[in-house]
């Protein structure tokens, strides 16, 4: 249970600068600060644009946003239901141990249950043993038989160029 003076709530447009800052802090923590290019405008469009594809919660201490969970919907064809994919979970180091990370995950678990979603999933770097132990203590289990693959940059562009234009009958 979070300590008094702390709370978890849905992200608001007024939180954008704080959340962008937290995402950049997370990138630095994950040893990839130069890979994070998120801007306030990009986050605003994703969270509050005409067709939001990203959702979020924040953790507060007093009136200060000190953590966030950014997530989107996925779909399991095997379960026949949506789920939540947690893209980013971050609480500033000086505020850890107060139940805020657990509170953010609990909010997503509640969201999943209320909407009839079948699962809540995320990835964690294999060297982040503190996070792994935290997740396992909550009852989460790694999917050891699965590997994450990613296409990006030149490889993504090359594969995308391999598609015949729409309407082409070959």
Residue 170 has pLDDT above 90, yes or no: no
Residue 132 has pLDDT above 70, yes or no: yes
Domain that holds residue 127: 6-161
Mapped to the 3 state alphabet, what secondary structure does the chain carry? CCCCCEEEEECCHHHHHHHHHHHHHHHHHCCCHHHCCCCHHHHHHHHHCCCCCCEEEEEEECCEEEEEEEEEEEEECCCCEEEEEEEEEEECHHHCCCCHHHHHHHHHHHHHHHHCCCCEEECCCCCCHHHHHHHHHCCCCCCCCCCCCCCCHHHHHHHHHCCCCCCCCC
The reply to whether 82 falls in a domain is yes
Supply φ then ψ for residue 137, to 5 degrees.
-65, -25
Catalytic, 135? Answer: yes
The reply to whether 166 falls in a domain is no
Its pTM stands at 0.91
Which CATH number does the domain housing residue 152 bear? 3.40.630.30
Q: Among residues 75, 85, 90, 135, which one is catalytic? A: 135
Give the mean pLDDT of the chain.
Answer: 94
The reply to whether 115 falls in a domain is yes
The reply to whether 130 falls in a domain is yes
The reply to whether 24 falls in a domain is yes
The reply to whether 167 falls in a domain is no
Segment 28-85, tens digit of pLDDT: 999 999 999 999 999 999 999 999 999 999 999 999 999 999 999 999 999 999 999 9
Q: How many domains does the chain have?
A: 1
């Amino acid at each position: 249970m979070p300590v008094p003076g702390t709370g978890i709530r849905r992200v608001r447009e007024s939180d954008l600068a704080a959340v962008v800052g937290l995402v950049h802090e997370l990138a630095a923590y994950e040893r990839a600060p130069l890979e994070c290019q998120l801007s306030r405008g990009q986050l605003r469009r994703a969270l509050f644009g005409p067709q939001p594809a990203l959702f979020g919660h924040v953790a507060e201490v007093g009136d200060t946003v000190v953590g966030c969970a950014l997530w989107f919907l996925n779909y399991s064809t095997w379960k026949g239901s949506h789920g939540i994919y947690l893209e980013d979970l971050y609480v500033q180091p000086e505020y850890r141990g107060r139940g805020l990370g657990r509170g953010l995950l609990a909010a997503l678990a509640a969201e999943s249950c209320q909407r009839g979603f079948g699962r809540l999933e995320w990835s964690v770097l294999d060297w982040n043993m503190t996070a792994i132990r935290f997740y396992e203590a909550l009852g989460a289990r790694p999917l050891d038989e699965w590997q994450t693959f990613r296409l990006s940059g030149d490889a993504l562009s090359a594969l995308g160029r391999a598609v015949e234009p729409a309407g082409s009958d070959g």
